Chains A and B, each alone.
Chain A
Amino acid sequence: MNAAGDTNQTGTAGEGAGLDPREAARILEQTKRQARRQFDPQSVLAAVAGAGVFLFGYGAVWWSMRDQNVYSGPAGWSLAVLYGLIAVSAIVGGVALSRANAGVSGRARRQRQAQAAAIAAAGIGAWVVEGALRYRGVSFEIVYGVYGPTVPLIALAAAAAGIAAMRESWLQLGVCIAIIAVASVSTFFGPLGAWGLTGLGCCLVLLVYASALVARRRRA
């Protein structure tokens, strides 16, 4: 043990003899609930921050392009808003994850590293393909207007869905599938639809997810 200190609170043999079984059951249930909550990496705040990225970040890009008759790309300020919000959201999510996993090691740590590698590979792969499409002469409108806001998101959500399924985290799996569905369908509506519908749809999905997390914690 790396800690030393008072030992005068030490229990003695037969110390639990006075513990009522009803009290023991209460302690057991309460501790189980608290432990599950503290180890749970799913954060309401991170979900709301993600919803903010879609509503205000994707919304800003959509807003800057809404009057374009011929696609000329989003305004610089809107991309700054989008990337700024993505950075804030990543920090919020990272803090929630590191709080939940603080002090936990062993198999969980190895799994987290493998999961992060899978998600990174999915995202990088999708962005490399985006570059390849442009390199092969596909139009800006398709590459940055339609592919950019949807396909990397679909790839990331698909990787996250696989991880959620493996962990039997059905709520997270549902969120990932809903994001994939929204992003896929929005590609039919061109650049404005891709940014606007993906932004609005994914924002709603994440707000429903945040509400479900709150409701689940209240029930527990």
Chain B
Amino acid sequence: MTANTLEPLDPLIHVPARLRILVTLAALNEGDTLSFTRLQNMLDLTPGNLITHLRKLEDARYIGTSKTGNGVAALTSVALTRHGRAALDAYTEALRDLLGELAK
């Protein structure tokens, strides 16, 4: 697979861990948030790995994070933004087109 072939796919999403994060968050209704711990358990990622991917997605405004409480009792919640949902939809569409072309 050449880099040119994959061009229409958003490189930020086209990574297994980040794709799984976005798809999991997209399964929630709009306006819902998911705790960091539940997301980590669902995806079976290490905390450090998950944090790194979440930061990249947050920098691109694909997700939003919010923190409640302080210290050890702090709880981080993650939610997909409208921009993130649109990006995932565009990625899914591009992937479908690409697979259609490959099948020809």
Contacts and interface: CB of A to CB of B under 8 A. Distances in A.
**A pairs with B:** yes
A107 B29 contact: yes
24 contacts: A1-B76, A3-B40, A6-B47, A6-B49, A9-B49, A10-B48, A10-B49, A16-B13, A19-B14, A20-B1, A21-B6, A22-B102, A24-B16, A24-B19, A25-B96, A28-B23, A32-B23, A32-B26, A34-B24, A34-B42, A103-B35, A104-B32, A104-B35, A106-B32
Nearest to B69: A2
B9 A39 contact: no
A5 interface: yes
A36 B27 contact: yes
B36 interface: yes
Interface of B: 1, 3, 6, 9, 11, 13-20, 23-24, 26-40, 42, 46-54, 56, 65, 67, 74-77, 79, 92, 95-96, 98-99, 102
A42 B76 CA distance: 27
Given A3-B36, A13-B11, A17-B6, 5 more contacts: A3-B37, A4-B51, A25-B99, A35-B26, A103-B38
A102 interface: yes
Contacts of B39: 103
Place the interface of chain A in its size category: 35 or more
